Amino acid sequence: LEWATVLDEELAGYNLYRSLTPGSGYTRQNTDLIRTASRYEDAGLALGSAFYYYATAVDSSGNESAPSAIVFGLSEGISVPD
């Protein structure tokens, strides 16, 4: 997943939330703030899994922004034969 970078010198990082449904049940996917990029790889998902995501920006005081727009994601990968 990728999102537009927030241009603010007080930006500390981002949080990414995932749910099976678009309206509720979102849980944070990152333990620590995503600091190095406006990108996150949601690894370990079964091929073809469908999820909804949103991101938030967090400032240096720990304040979290309102959620971004919700996006739909479908996992991709390489199928390895048995």
Give the pLDDT confidence of 5-47 residue by residue, as tens digits. 878 889 999 999 999 999 899 999 999 999 877 778 887 788 8
For residue 67, what pLDDT band results from cuts at 50, 70 and 90?
very high
Strands (E), the chain: 11-19, 27-28, 50-59, 71-74
Residue linked to tokens 């479908």: 74
Q: What is the pTM of this model?
A: 0.83
Residue 9 is given by DSSP the state T
> Minimal CA–CA distance to 72: which of 37, 42, 34, 30?
42
The pLDDT of residue 23: 87
